[in-house]
Amino acid sequence: MAQIVKRAYKYRFHPTPEQTSQLARTFGCVRFVYNKALEERTRAYALEGKRVSYAESSAMLTAWKHSGEFGFLREVSCVPLQQALRHLQAGFANFFAKRAKYPVFKSRKKSRASAEYTRSAFHWRDGELTLAKMDAPLAIVWSRSLPEGAQPSTVTVSKDAAGRWFVSILVEETIALLAPVQQAVGVDAGITALAALSTGEKIVNPRHERRDRRKLAKAQRALSRKEKGSNNRAEARLKVAKAYARIADRRRDHLHKVTTRLVRENQVIAVEDLTVRSMVRDHSLARAVSDAGWRQLRSMLEYKARWYGRTLVAVDRWFPSSELCSVCGCVQEKMPLNVRMWQCACGALHDRDVNAAQNVLAAGLAEN
């Protein structure tokens, strides 16, 4: 069996000077339109108690483009500007549904520089992608092929803090479901080990940030000594960004390999429903938790399980997986973090993390 899914393929590309200039203007206009529309919607709600719709925001955009003050908006493709309004509309919909906080303004320095093009704003032919307002196709580094016969529906161009250009191509792809297997596994996320499995295996935590911490600290010290606004400071900031990008790339690669293996080998995967956002507020754990990439691990498991016909079960975060004996079911009163091995009154000797993974599996199977 197979299913059709929407899948994004991300590639590096190297723009020409003309393309760089055009994309920089587009990024600036996208950010301006988003912030301007957010300002107008906030003002209308604060002063008049009125909710501005997407259609009304779109009418505002048309008026801005034909005004003398904001005529520069006509220099870029209109599609990324409309997409910015759609993203803002989605942000307000999530806010009013209490799924997210109130939308915030985009910062030139801190926000991700990106622009989204729908099918009417790019040309795709013979493996070449040309964006609106550009004469030449993008010089994409095809690190892997798109599915045969795939037709892009959306293209997102972005530039990261390290100065690297990326294009993300969204296509519809037919993915074959994996053959059913009998195995099931419980996963207990950790810091010493990235994850302990109910099988007794522990997946190593490479600790990418710790391994590059000395190089990163040296780059950050050099940045702190540079004069604000100078070219030297811009170069130093780029070195820091490249160090962070290297850490993030290696972490992502490792997580992809781990999650792909878990999904291929197991029919049911049980995990704890951890609140990573709350855990990183603990300053003694924040750095280690962020370096482990628990949120990415959960996200990858979710979409890969959905693609390949596996089942991912999230066990309640308050389930006492560490305190519960997986043999007799007795619950210990206390289990400090420094206790890694413990013995139950029934005589069973437990590795704390493996025992927790076995309890997570049992609870997951019960829920499933």
Looking up residue 199, the CATH number of its domain turns out to be 3.30.420
Q: In terms of domains, do 283 and 161 share one?
A: no
Q: Are 235 and 227 in contact (CB under 8 A)?
A: no
Q: Which residues pair with 154 in a beta bridge?
A: 118, 170
Burial of 161 (0-12, 13-18, 19+ CB in 10 A): middle
Q: In terms of domains, do 6 and 94 share one?
A: yes
Residue 114 lies in a domain: yes
pLDDT of residue 323: 86
Residue 288 lies in a domain: yes
Locate 346 and state its tokens. Answer: 């029934």
Burial of 243 (0-12, 13-18, 19+ CB in 10 A): buried
Catalytic position from the list 116, 209, 291, 353: 353
DSSP output for 39-104:
HHHHHHHHHH--PPPHHHHHHHHHHHHTSSTTGGGGGS-HHHHHHHHHHHHHHHHHHHTTSSPPP-
Last residue of a domain, one of 176, 195, 223: 176
| Mean of pLDDT over the chain | 92
User: Could you read off the pLDDT of 204-263 as tens digits, one per residue?
Assistant: 888 888 888 888 999 999 999 999 989 999 999 999 999 999 999 999 999 999 999 999
pLDDT of residue 73: 95
Q: In terms of domains, do 80 and 172 share one?
A: yes
Q: In terms of domains, do 166 and 278 share one?
A: no
pLDDT of residue 223: 93
Binned at pLDDT 50, 70 and 90, residue 99 comes out as: very high
Q: Helix count (H) and strand count (E) of the chain?
A: 10, 13
Last residue of a domain, one of 155, 176, 197: 176
Residue 231 lies in a domain: no
Which of 253, 246, 252, 254 has its CA nearest to residue 203?
A: 254
Residue 225 lies in a domain: no
User: Could you read off the pLDDT of 119-148 as tens digits, one per residue?
Assistant: 999 999 988 999 999 999 999 999 999 998
CB atoms within 10 A of CB 106: 19
Residue 233 lies in a domain: no
The helix (run of H) or strand (run of E) holding residue 184 is strand 184-189
Residue 299 lies in a domain: yes
User: Could you read off the pLDDT of 328-346 as tens digits, one per residue?
Assistant: 988 888 888 788 888 888 8
Residue 262 lies in a domain: yes
Q: In terms of domains, do 143 and 199 share one?
A: no
pLDDT of residue 157: 98
**DSSP helix/strand/coil, 11:** strand
CB atoms within 10 A of CB 292: 26
What DSSP character marks residue 51?
Answer: P
pLDDT of residue 135: 93
The CA distance from 184 to 366, in Å, is 12
Known active-site residue 56: no
pLDDT of residue 78: 96
Q: In terms of domains, do 171 and 190 share one?
A: no
The CA distance from 200 to 93, in Å, is 44
Residue 45 has pLDDT above 80, yes or no: yes
Residue 217 lies in a domain: no
Residue 19: C-alpha distances to residues 126, 140, 208, 233, 362 (Å):
20, 13, 34, 26, 55
Known active-site residue 188: yes
The CA distance from 47 to 256, in Å, is 48
Q: In terms of domains, do 92 and 189 share one?
A: no
Domain range holding 122? 2-176
Locate 294 and state its tokens. Answer: 């628990």
- Please work out, in degrees rounded to the nearest 5, the angle formed at the alpha carbon of residue 224 by the alpha carbons of 223 and 225: 90
Q: In terms of domains, do 46 and 151 share one?
A: yes
The CA distance from 16 to 22, in Å, is 10
Name the domain count of the chain: 2
Known active-site residue 212: no
State the average pLDDT over residues 304-309.
95
Catalytic position from the list 116, 173, 209, 272: 272
Catalytic position from the list 188, 201, 316, 351: 188
Pick 321 or 72 by higher pLDDT. 72
Residue 284 has pLDDT above 80, yes or no: no
Q: In terms of domains, do 154 and 195 share one?
A: no
pLDDT of residue 333: 81
User: Could you read off the pLDDT of 165-195 as tens digits, one per residue?
Assistant: 999 999 999 999 999 999 999 999 888 889 9
Q: In terms of domains, do 197 and 332 share one?
A: yes
**DSSP helix/strand/coil, 180:** coil
Residue 36: C-alpha distances to residues 42, 57, 64, 112, 164 (Å):
10, 10, 10, 17, 28
Q: In terms of domains, do 168 and 192 share one?
A: no
Q: In terms of domains, do 39 and 87 share one?
A: yes
State the average pLDDT over residues 65-79.
93
